[in-house]
């Protein structure tokens, strides 16, 4: 069975690029564009891995942190990668405190992201 991953980003081109990259790598890929959509999926679908942007609305919010909390409460077996172009040491520390598995800076080479995803999902499918 292929690992199922959820990619959450409010930028459609990024979602498309990540989907096109991960599907041939034998992942089942779902994409969500907003926090509530991601939470609704996470409530009813089992994901091996969540890859989420820190900011989902273009505002100064850090919805990615909210998603980490949600996943850790509802789906503790799901591994979490947060991507950000605006990360600070403080936010990274908070993300780690909430249980993120990897906190990565954008831009990140897709091959590197895929390597991390593979390591995190190994044996989870």
Partner 1 sequence: MSLWDRIIEPDGLTTVFQPIFRIAGEGRSTYAYEALTRGPKGTNIERSDVLFEYVRRKHRESEVDLLSIAAALRESRHLPGEPSLSLNVHASTLERDDSLAGSLAMLCAEHEVPLERIIIEIVEHAPPWSGPQLLASLAELRALGVRIALDDVGLGQSNFRMILDCHPNLLKIDRHFVNGCHADPHRRAVLLSIADLAVRLGGQAVAEGIEEERDLKAVTDLGIDLVQGYLLCLPRSSQALRDAEVPAEVA
Give the binding site for partner 1 (CB under 8 A): 30-37, 39-41, 43-45
Is the Cβ of residue 38 or residue 104 nearer to partner 1 in the bound state? Answer: 38
> Smallest distance from the beta carbon of 124 to partner 1, in angstroms?
21
Is the Cβ of residue 42 or residue 104 nearer to partner 1 in the bound state? Answer: 42
> Smallest distance from the beta carbon of 81 to partner 1, in angstroms?
20
* CA proximity to 124, closest of 77, 80, 67: 77
> Smallest distance from the beta carbon of 67 to partner 1, in angstroms?
12
Question: In Å, what is the CA distance from 100 to each residue of 2, 84, 85, 96?
Answer: 22, 13, 16, 5
Is the Cβ of residue 34 or residue 94 nearer to partner 1 in the bound state? Answer: 34
């Amino acid at each position: 069975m292929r690992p199922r991953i959820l990619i959450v980003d409010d930028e459609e081109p990024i979602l498309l690029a990540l989907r096109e990259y991960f599907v041939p790598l034998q992942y089942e890929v779902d994409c969500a564009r907003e926090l509530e959509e991601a939470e609704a999926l996470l409530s009813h679908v089992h994901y091996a891995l969540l890859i989420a942007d820190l900011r989902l609305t273009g505002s100064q919010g850090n919805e990615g942190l909210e998603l980490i909390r949600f996943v850790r409460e509802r789906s503790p077996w799901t591994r979490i990668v947060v991507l950000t172009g605006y990360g600070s040491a403080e936010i990274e520390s908070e993300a780690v405190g909430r249980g993120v598995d990897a906190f990565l800076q954008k831009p990140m080479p897709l091959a590197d992201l895929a390597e991390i995803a593979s390591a995190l999902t190994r044996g989870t499918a």
